[in-house]
Structure 1
Amino acid sequence: MEELTLLILGAGWTATFLIPLLQSRNVPFAATTTSGHPVADVPTLSFKFDPSAPEHETLSAIAALPRARYVLVTFPLTGTGPSKLLIETYTATHRSGNNNAAGEKKKNSDIRFIQLGSSGIWQQQQQQNSCWITRHSPYATTNPRALAEDELRSLGGCVLNLAGLWGGGRTPRNWAGRVAPTKEAVREKRSLHLIHGDDVARVVVAVVDGGCGWEDDDKMWEVSGRGQRWLVTDGFVYDWWALLVGWADGGGGGDKEKEKGPGVVTSEQQRAGWVFELMREEGVRALPRSMEALGRCYDTREFWEAFGLVPLKGRVC
């Protein structure tokens, strides 16, 4: 069977953006879901990775997958063991011959793994002397997801730690009622970091392609892929208070209440009112607040600079 460029393990929300981009670039790919249902009008393979399953079941399930140059893991792996199990089993069952037709050894014929991770591994860490966090900043190494990601990196894989995912049916405005239901909840809201699904797709393709073309990606992978962890956002640090005030008109969806008559205050307006009360109480003169006041600010310039890209979907409104 001809080798694919990319195998997507777990074609969920991300795949609805990634698959159309791969199609537009004529990139050979396959995708899996637990039920084998279509995603973005593309059939998928039925596959479920269960690290606790009997060894023969895991071997059989992974062996049935097509061979690909890159394997993208979109579902979370946790703790030590699952990353190693997945990588070693897939590699053992899909290793192709290392010689070409002339009997010469292929260059960098290994299979490359990419894991989509969360920026949450930095959330509980205290940063010294700065509110800024980069991919090099200390993170919660005992976090179950961090353990799995570090294991994958130690085996030569690449981790993309993504901030808040939005796009399609995911709209930050719709989160307000859940994350800020009371004035005290609003008081605690500080920074928000986001990345749109269109840019997530471009990020994955950049790591796979390396900006060098699909046939010449070895050098870029060795420099910017193998063993790397990238922190990725759209380059903005959003102030929750500023967003809540900006959504006071209820436009664009959200949890806007139906009009009940003159003078009725909607939930959006109530949250905006809480923000202005808190501004007075905490001495905030205007929005957005300073980076220092927001407390945790992600600096993700390094990824975009390394791959020669800029986000296309920044500035959520």
Structure 2
Amino acid sequence: MEQQVLSAAFPILILGLGWTGQFLAELLVSLQLNYAATTRDGRNNTIAWNLPSDAKDMDVSPLPFAQTVLVTFPVMQPECMTALMDAYQKQHNQTSQWILLSSTRPFKGDPATRHTPLDRTKDTGRMGAEDVILERGGSVLHLAGLWGDQRLPKNWVPRFATTEAIRNKLLNRQLHLIHGKDVARSIVAVHENFRPGERWIVTDNGCYDWIRLFLAWGNTEQIVIARDLAQHDETCHKALGEGTLEDIVRCGGVKPKLDSTEFWDTFQLQPTEYLKIE
């Protein structure tokens, strides 16, 4: 998508116009909100810029000032996050609202809310930069499984081809999702009603059952393996209970392990996009 003509300041600067950015750009255009965005190579009229791996190499001279700076990619060195924020503020001599996108991986609970302590053993290298953002009054959006456009859960099912992979999904049945369109709406809501120093969990406020996905979209071999595990694997049988997989789905289903209710209530929104399993 062609971005709008650059001006002295923008409502939003998108650092990393990737998969998420395409949905956000479409929404911003529809709302007539100007924006600037970066890519590594400056394609499609974006700004050519890349976060360096060493903080001493930080160069923010190409970046225009924006009320909100959105970082869509993982920042694996907290020193780089600090250097980026410092350099950006120094260059423009004013402060911005910072939003960092992250994953829900560190949240464990039944269900986990945004107030649940993070399991730092699940840190993939993101948490240090998240801590920097929060300490400096920014916001972190922990997004559930991203889907939309060409990114479809139906296409994820073939990845689980081994008995062990399928067994893991039978024992961890919950799939939490959030569509790119709702991610974009969430970002705009945080931008417009910013609350400094907060983490948020963002899902579609429900979850999906991997068993349903296997039955709907799995190949014959996957379904045979799933049925066999449900009947003969002691751990799976104990977790799934009696009956066929269809019986389990029809009579039970799963409950979310992530609770994003507070996000939607706080910003007075509701998710609009839900996965249809047919």
Q: Do both proteins adopt the same fold according to a TM-score greater than 0.5, normalized to the shorter chain?
A: yes
Q: Match for residue 86 of structure 2?
A: 88
Unaligned runs of 5+ in 2: 1-6
For 2:149 and 2:248, locate their aligned partners in 1 and report how far apart those are by CA, in whole Å: 28
Query: Match for residue 167 of structure 2?
Result: 187
Q: What TM-score, normalized to structure 2?
A: 0.85
| CA–CA distance in structure 2, aligned partners of residues 284 and 237 of structure 1 | 22
Higher helix share: 2
What is the rounded CA distance, in whole Å, between the counterparts of 2:155 and 2:23 in structure 1? Answer: 20
- After superposition, the C-alpha distances for 1:175-218 in whole angstroms (9 at most, x for unaligned) are 1121x1123321111221111111111111111122xxxxxxxx
Answer yes or no: is 1:121 the counterpart of 2:106.
Answer: yes
Could you give the per-residue CA deviations for residues 276-316 of structure 1, whole angstroms, max 9, x where no partner exists?
22332313433335547xxx711111111111111111234
- Structure 1 residues without counterparts, runs of 5 or longer: 97-109, 211-220, 249-267
Equivalent of 1:19 in 16, 25, 28:
25
Report the residue type matching 2:29 in the other structure: Q
Structure 2 matches for 1:24-173, cutoff 5 A? 24-38=30-44, 43-52=45-54, 55=56, 57-58=57-58, 61-96=59-94, 110-122=95-107, 125=108, 127=109, 131-141=110-120, 143=123, 144-173=125-154
Matching residue of 2:203: 233
Larger Rg: 1
RMSD, aligned α-carbons: 1.8
SS in 2 for 1:244: helix
Secondary structure of the equivalent of 1:135? coil
Partner of 1:279: 230
Deviation at 1:78, TM superposition (A): 1.8
Find the aligned partners of 1:86 and 1:316 in 2 and give their Cα distance. 41
Contact 1:140/1:146 (CA < 8 Å) preserved in 2?
A: no
Matched, 1:303 2:263: yes
Contact 1:242–1:287 (8 Å) recurs in 2: no
Greater Cα shift, 279-288 or 200-209: 279-288
The correspondence of residues 195-210 of structure 1 with structure 2, limited to 5 A, is 195-210=178-193
150-159 or 234-243, which deviates more: 234-243
Q: CA deviation at 1:34?
A: 0.5
Shift in alpha-carbon separation, 1:316–1:86, aligned structure 2, 3 A: farther
* Whole-angstrom CA distance in 2 between matches of 1:151 and 1:158: 10
CA distance in 1, matches of 2:242, 2:268: 37
Q: Is the 8 A contact 1:166 1:197 kept in 2?
A: yes
Inter-partner Cα distance in structure 1 for 2:113 and 2:28: 29
Percent identity of equivalent pairs = 38
* Segment drifting more, 68-77 vs 181-190: 181-190
SS in 2 for 1:49: coil
Aligned residues: 254
